[in-house]
Structure 1
Amino acid sequence: MTTMLDKKFSPQKQTAFAARFEAQKIAFGPVVFQCVRYAWQRGMLKKLADGGAAGFSIEDLAATGHWSAYALKLVLETCLSAGVVSLQGGRYVLDKTGYCMLTDPITQVNMNFIADVCYAGLADLDRSLDAEQPLGLAHLGDWPTIYEGLSALPEPAKTSWFEFDHHYSDTSFPDVMPDVFATGPQRVMDIGANTGKFSLATLAYNAEVELHLVDLPQQLLMAEQALQAAGLGARAHLHGVNMLDPACEFPAGMDLIWMSQFLSCFSEPVIASILARVAKSLADKGQVLIMDTFWDRQRYDIAAYCLINTSPYFTAMASGNSKVYQSGDYIRLAEAAGLKLLTARDGIGYCHSLLRFAKA
């Protein structure tokens, strides 16, 4: 397939004037973000949607008592500059971008994730890049990485983080179950089990499979609660492991090892260490499935744009030295660990690809 590496995000023949306008959009990006989010969260956009093509004047909107005329003028003028609303005969009307804000789940999940999890911490992106440490995480809590603190994140950051993570992954799990069981595995290991979403889907799909969940102990507590609540705990085995410790081995003799949106949490040296341990954990004919959101394998610019711009979250908030990778990075590191790529499947869920490996 044609990848994003073969494309450009901007037109090839952009005028100098147009380029300067785009540069100003970048310069004022944080201002636009906050104003548009205010209009969405405080109900301005919903009110305009209710008004339809007729729209409302500032006086009409102020008369509701929900917003002052000052707040309305300031926020809606920014929304106008961003194409969220239009101004027709002195009356504000919701535009197509505004309807996306009101109705598009991906847009809403992304906005809340950036606002509640990332925004304050991104002010420390420069220091985080220089130190390769998530120095912006201090705005949420005192942990070395965000993964130790996921179960204790303050609200609304906790809700927004899990909604972001699950929105992108949950739609993919039903689609990949035939891939997971294509080789008839009896012992499956889910590395980076998180809250147990994939584990629940796997145990429910196959009544015979034995599942091993590997993650930080505090993460496994949430997964264990979910498994017990679903009555699926009997076939699940939990293994608390610090992925950053190369001496921590994974359980051996696995027919299939699964990793979903997991390796992007780590630097390339740590990924290399994890894949080396994964290779040791495989049974003789075992295989590895890695599902992730590779920006270079996206069909549409919009997906690649979102994924590329998720990487600074990993720097400032999550680990300090990880990112959304290109698929070739994983393949290269897997080959160095003694694994060979068998197949690659794209177009799973919103933006996932599935890489299948076996021992070389």
Structure 2
Amino acid sequence: MKKKMSAVEAKYEAQKIAFGPMFFQAVVALRELGILKFISNHRTGVSAEDIVSALGVSEYGVNLLLEAAEAMGVVETEDGLFRITKVGFFLIKDEMTRVNINFMNDVCYLGARHMTDSIVRERPEGLQEFGGWPTIYEGLSALPAPAKKSWFEFDHYYSDTAFPEALKVVFRKKPKKLFDVGGNTGKWSFACCAYDPDVEVTILDLPAQLKVALANTEERGLSNRISFHPINLLDDAQQIPQGADVIWMSQFLDCFSKNEIVRILENACQAASANTTLYILEPFVDNQNYPAAHYSLVATSMYFTVMANGNSKMYQIEEMKKLVAQAGFDVVQTYPLIGDSYHTILECVKKG
């Protein structure tokens, strides 16, 4: 049962929203200037003067940021000494938090002010902060630093943790030919080749993305096992080829609107035989064990709105199952929250 909130408490929460962008940037500054790490390294506490002396940051800057940190519950103070809190600990030590902050700061922050226009026009209006591409996917290889690095770290963090258990699921039937749809840099394809020495993989993606995957494949000496098929799946004239035992889509469909998802899955359906298995791996927003995961996925939906494509989001599991059925597939098995990740796998076959 939710706690009843007083008017005073509600007004305070409203101010957190109003000033949220400033406090976010204060955390970025605290981290980049080394202040949080310095405080964390001194468990008995440090004074503002200690921080000024050790880090060379002005007294004004240190006191300003410490006030912000205390207001956010990132540090606590007693007798003039500052100590890190549990919130501060996660800001410094937790990989999920680090990746999320970098992604928000480097990729999304400038574009977020275009939220209203993005929703009205159903286009990623925030993307103009980086370039004139229709979606972020055409421009990934050309994103400036550090946005490019932070984007790929974010993407890989929310997929790589699922790979160990996902490989066990996908290779139960010993597929010989696997299509990695939206294969990005090729990390899943490389994991498949390492897991099964006999599997052959085809990566299907936009031409610009395939250049990155091709270079990574050649670097790993896997050109004899991994091939490439350039495709724009929003162009209905471009079809997924036939012949795959497995069609794999990892965190791919959340990059599209519902109508686009149906079109893509219908394309996969025409390519599938009775012996083809479609696997969809997604972190469904309503199928999470922890509030932090749910909160992060809701925020990721807003990234899709302002920066990625303007019309997609992180979906609920039943939403996705309906789209799968509409496109001509049956969900024959669901693998919820595999391993220690936030992901669910839907195993699908073509309707009889």
Does the alignment reach a TM-score above 0.5?
Answer: yes
How many angstroms apart in 1 are the aligned matches of 2:244 and 2:51? 62
* Structure 2 residue 217 is matched with structure 1 residue 244: no
Paired residue type of 1:354:
I
* 1:116-139 deviations in Å (ceiling 9; x for gaps): 000000011110111000110111
Paired residue type of 1:64:
A
Paired residue type of 1:47:
F
Q: Equivalent residue of 1:51, what SS?
A: coil
Uncovered stretches (5+) of structure 2, i.e. residues with no partner? none
How many angstroms apart in 1 are the aligned matches of 2:99 and 2:310? 23
Uncovered stretches (5+) of structure 1, i.e. residues with no partner? 1-7
* Structure 2 residue 118 is matched with structure 1 residue 118: no
- Given candidates 336, 356, 359, the residue that maps to 2:347 is 356
How many angstroms apart in 1 are the aligned matches of 2:81 and 2:199? 61
- Given candidates 33, 40, 48, the residue that maps to 2:31 is 40
* Paired position in structure 2 for 1:187: 177
Percentage of matched positions with identical amino acids: 43
Name which of structure 1's ranges 209-218 and 177-186 shifts more when overlaid on structure 2: 177-186
- Given candidates 66, 76, 89, the residue that maps to 2:66 is 76
- Given candidates 40, 44, 54, the residue that maps to 1:49 is 40
Deviation at 1:213, TM superposition (A): 0.9
How many angstroms apart in 1 are the aligned matches of 2:52 and 2:191? 49
Q: Equivalent residue of 1:309, what SS?
A: helix
* Structure 2 residue 98 is matched with structure 1 residue 86: no
* Paired position in structure 2 for 1:30: 21
Tell me if structure 1 keeps the 8 A contact 2:127–2:135. Answer: yes
Paired residue type of 2:94:
D
How many angstroms apart in 2 are the aligned matches of 1:336 and 1:23? 41
* Paired position in structure 2 for 1:133: 123
* Structure 2 residue 5 is matched with structure 1 residue 14: yes
- Alignment: residue pair count: 350
The alignment's TM-score, normalised by the length of structure 1, stands at: 0.94
How many angstroms apart in 2 are the aligned matches of 1:183 and 1:280? 21
Deviation at 1:253, TM superposition (A): 2.3
- Given candidates 307, 316, 326, the residue that maps to 2:306 is 316
Tell me if structure 1 keeps the 8 A contact 2:176–2:200. Answer: yes
Deviation at 1:12, TM superposition (A): 4.2
The alignment's TM-score, normalised by the length of structure 2, stands at: 0.96
Deviation at 1:265, TM superposition (A): 0.7
Q: Equivalent residue of 1:38, what SS?
A: helix
* Paired position in structure 2 for 1:149: 139
Paired residue type of 2:307:
M
How many angstroms apart in 1 are the aligned matches of 2:149 and 2:290? 28
Q: Equivalent residue of 2:172, what SS?
A: coil
How many angstroms apart in 1 are the aligned matches of 2:59 and 2:150? 31
Paired residue type of 1:63:
S
State the Cα RMSD in Å: 1.3
Deviation at 1:347, TM superposition (A): 1.8
How many angstroms apart in 2 are the aligned matches of 1:337 and 1:51? 58
Paired residue type of 2:220:
A
